[in-house]
């Protein structure tokens, strides 16, 4: 006759099985990520700490720039953000402090800083006409993905849109033109 496990024993068994699956899983490919949020009053570029997903890196690139940058300037700054991005594995000493979702208070503080920088009082005014593009550098290729604003400081993918892919060694001007094009796709979605 099979022994019936208690809730605590079932939980311990499930955790042990999950840990074993995690040990056998292949580590993710190394990548570098950044995001560009272009508002009417400014362009903000932020680098990420990356493992399987990315989180804003407090030691990375985080700059408020002019709202209407030319292609070469935005390409140069976006490349700087990608180069500042870090791949952080679970054994990294900063794992616990960096690889986590921001708290509600931290997200609110970020929104308040952006509103203050833009000189507006509401999120609606901040995000009116905004565009967002994520950048991923992996295997010597840069992938640009535009996002559609869906309200309440959140973004979603654009159905039917294919990501742009450029070689890593593309010129800053060509890179910037692709970013500006992706931002236009984001704004018009």
Under the banding of pLDDT at 50, 70 and 90, the label for residue 154 is confident
- Average pLDDT for residues 124-130, to the nearest whole number? 95
* Inter-residue contact 97 to 60 (CB < 8 Å): no
What is the average per-residue pLDDT within 75-103?
A: 93
The pLDDT confidence band at residue 151, using thresholds 50, 70 and 90, is: confident
For the chain, what is the largest distance between any 2 Cα atoms, rounded to a whole number of angstroms? 74
pLDDT above 90 coverage of the chain, percent: 76
Q: Examine the pLDDT at 76 and tell me if it is beyond 70.
A: yes
Mean pLDDT of the chain: 93
Tokens of 69: 């940058």
Give strand pairing partners of 52: none
Q: What pLDDT was estimated at residue 22?
A: 72
Look at residue 32 and tell me whether its pLDDT is greater than 80: yes
Q: In whole angstroms, give the CA distance from residue 189 to residue 183.
A: 10
Residue 171: pLDDT band (50, 70, 90) is: very high
Q: Tokens standing for 122?
A: 């509401």
Query: What is the band of 15 on the pLDDT scale with cuts at 50, 70, 90?
Result: confident
Burial class (CB in 10 A: 0-12, 13-18, 19+), 140: exposed
Confidence of residue 52 (pLDDT cuts 50, 70, 90): confident
Nearest to 97 by CA among 49, 46, 134: 49
The per-residue pLDDT for 50 is 94
Count other C-beta atoms under 10 Å from residue 184's C-beta. 14
Determine the pLDDT at residue 1: 62
Distance set, CA 158 to CA 64, 65, 109, 149 (Å): 25, 25, 27, 10
- On whether the CB atoms of residues 85 and 48 are closer than 8 A, the answer is yes
């Amino acid at each position: 006759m099979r022994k019936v496990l208690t809730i605590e024993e079932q939980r311990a068994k499930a955790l042990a099985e999950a840990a074993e699956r995690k040990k056998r899983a292949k580590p993710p490919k190394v990548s570098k990520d950044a995001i560009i949020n272009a508002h009417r009053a400014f362009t903000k570029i932020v680098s990420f700490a990356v493992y399987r997903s990315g989180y804003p890196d407090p030691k990375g690139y985080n700059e408020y720039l002019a709202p209407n940058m030319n292609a070469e300037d935005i390409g140069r700054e976006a490349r700087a953000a990608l180069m500042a991005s870090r791949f952080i594995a679970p054994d990294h000493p900063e794992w616990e402090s960096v690889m986590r979702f921001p708290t509600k208070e931290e997200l609110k503080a970020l929104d308040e800083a952006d509103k203050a920088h833009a000189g507006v009082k509401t999120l609606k005014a901040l995000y009116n006409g905004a565009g967002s593009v994520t950048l991923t550098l992996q295997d010597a290729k840069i992938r640009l993905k535009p996002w559609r604003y869906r309200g309440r400081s959140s973004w979603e993918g654009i159905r039917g849109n294919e990501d742009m892919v450029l070689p890593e060694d593309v010129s800053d001007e060509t890179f910037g033109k692709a970013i500006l094009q992706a931002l236009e796709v984001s704004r018009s979605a």
